[in-house]
Amino acid sequence: MIGALPASLLALCVVSMLCTALVIARDKQEHKGLVYWSFAREHLRAYVQQTESWNKQNPDLPVHLTYVSEQALTDRMMGSFFAGTPSADMIEMNQGPNVNVWRGPDEATGFRDLAPLLRRDGLIDKINPPSLSPWTRQGRIYGLPHDVHPVLLCYRADIVEAAGINVDELTTWDKFFEALAPLCGDLDGDGYSDRHVLEMPETTHFMLVIMVDQAGGMLIDDYDRVHMNSPAVANVLAKLASWAAREDKLTADIPVFTAAAAQPLLKGQALSWLCPDWRVANMYDMAPGLAGKVKLMPLPAWEEGGRRTSVLGGTMLGLPKVTRGGAETAEAAWQFARNLYFSKETAEYLFRETGIITPIKDYWTLPVFDEKSDFFCGQRFGRMYIEQAPNVPIRSSSPYLHQCCEELLSAYTRLISYAQEHDARDMESLQSEAARLLDIAAKNVQLAVDRGTFEEGEK
C-alpha cells in the first residue's frame, strides 16, 4: 500500500508524522512542572535568576517561562477558561484582556481569588493598596500587581528653565499653562504652531484618561456603575478643550509611545508630556537625544492642594482555577508567584532595566531608587516616583472600562470641534457642552452594561 503512494505524498506523510512526534515530545516536556506565560519579554528576563533558583530546589516541579504575544495569550487563556481545560499554571497579563476575563459572575471567571492566600500568608498589607484596584473585582483579588505606574510630568528643562521659569511654583495646571504659553506658538512665521505646552493626542484615549483619573473622575466602578458624566470629568474635558481649541493651540497631537513621537519631542514641539514610570525606558530607547535636556516634576494639580500624580497601565500575575496537577501544583504555583513578585531582586532588576517601581512597600527604601540619573539632569527620579506611589488613583476593573475610555475620547474631540465652530472659550459654555456629550456617552455605556448583566437566575 505504501509502495503505491506517490513519492511526494509519502514524503509529506513522513514529515507530518515526524512533526507530530516532535510536538508531542515538546508538549510532554513543557508540561513537566509549571508553565508561566507572559506577554512581555522584558519581564521574563527579570525572572530568569529566580526561576533557576526555584528549579534547582524543585526539580520535580520546574517552572517554564514562556513568552506568548498578547493576542495569542488572550485567545489561549480565554479558550481554556471557556472549555474548563488547563492552560498555563501562571499567567502574566496587562489590562487589555480585562474586557473578557471578568465578564460575568465569579464562577465564570477563570482566575482564582487570591485574597484568602494573601491574608493567610500575611502579604496583603505589604502591597501598595491602589495597585490592587485594577485586579480587584467586587471584593475578589484576581491577580498580584506587578507595578504601580505613577505618572510624573517630563518637561524640557533646557527650554523652560532658560526662560527663567521656576516649575516649583507651577502647582496647578492653570499656572503651568499660563507660565509656558508665552514660549509656544508659531515660531517660524509659517502660520502653524511649532511649539505647544503639553503633549495631548486626540486620536487615543490614554493621556486623556490620565488627566481624568488625576482629577478623581472615575469613569465606571468595579460594580459596573457608570460615573463618567460626573462634574469632575466634565471640568477636565472643558479645560483641556479650552487649551486645544485656541488659535495658538497649546496641546500637541503627537502619536504617543511610538518611534514617530521621538522627533516631535526632540524638536521641542511639546514642552512637556505625561510620563508613567515605564515611559522612562521608552525615552531611553526612542529618544536618547533628550538626555540632559529633560527633568521630571509632580503633575500640576487640578486645584490647589490636589493630587500631584496619576496612573497609566498595569500588569498582574494570575493563577487559573483549573490546573493540570490539582491542589499540589496549584499550591506550588502560588509559592513561586509569591516568591517572584515579592522578591527584592525582581524589584531592583525591573527598575534598573525598565524604570518600573515595585508595589511592595518594604522595598521602597532600596538604594537603587536614590541613584542619580544623567538622563534627567542628575535627578533621583526613582525616589520621585516612589514619593507619589501611595497617591495614585484607584482604578476600575470593570470589563466596560475600555468602552468608557473610547466614549470619553469621542466626547473630547467633539467638544474641541464645538469650541472651534462656536468660538467658545468661556468655561461655563464648555462645561455645559461637555456635560451634554458625557450624558450621551454614559447612556451608550449603560446600554452595554444592561445587555451584559447576569440575572440571578442565570448565575
In a domain, 251, yes or no: yes
Regarding whether 229 and 85 lie in a shared domain, the answer is no
The answer to whether 342 and 121 have CB atoms below 8 angstroms apart is no
Report d(CA 177, CA 153) in Å as an integer.
13
pLDDT at 459: 37
**CATH code for the domain of 197:** 3.40.190.10
Provide the domain limits for residue 214: 152-311+383-452
What distances in angstroms separate CA 230 from CA 148, 236, 238, 436, 459, one per listed residue? Answer: 26, 10, 12, 11, 31
pLDDT at 190: 78
What distances in angstroms separate CA 456 from CA 101, 124, 243, 453, 459, one per listed residue? Answer: 20, 31, 47, 10, 6
Regarding whether 166 and 129 lie in a shared domain, the answer is no
Regarding whether 327 and 195 lie in a shared domain, the answer is no
pLDDT at 305: 96
List, for the chain, all residue ranges whose pLDDT scores fall below the cut of 50: 1-5, 9-10, 12-29, 455-459
In a domain, 361, yes or no: no
Report d(CA 235, CA 246) in Å as an integer.
17
Regarding whether 207 and 134 lie in a shared domain, the answer is no
Instruction: Evaluate if pTM is beyond 0.85.
Output: yes
pLDDT at 57: 96
- pLDDT tens-place string over residues 193-211: 889 999 999 999 999 999 9
Q: For 32-58, b where at least 16 C-beta lie within 10 A, e where not — what string?
A: ebbbbbbbbeebbebbeebbeebbeee
Question: To which residue does cell 490539582 refer?
Answer: 326
Regarding whether 396 and 274 lie in a shared domain, the answer is yes
Regarding whether 238 and 199 lie in a shared domain, the answer is yes
pLDDT at 12: 46
Give the chain's domain count: 2
Q: Which residues pair with 155 in a beta bridge?
A: 272, 295
- pLDDT tens-place string over residues 371-399: 999 999 999 999 999 999 999 999 999 99
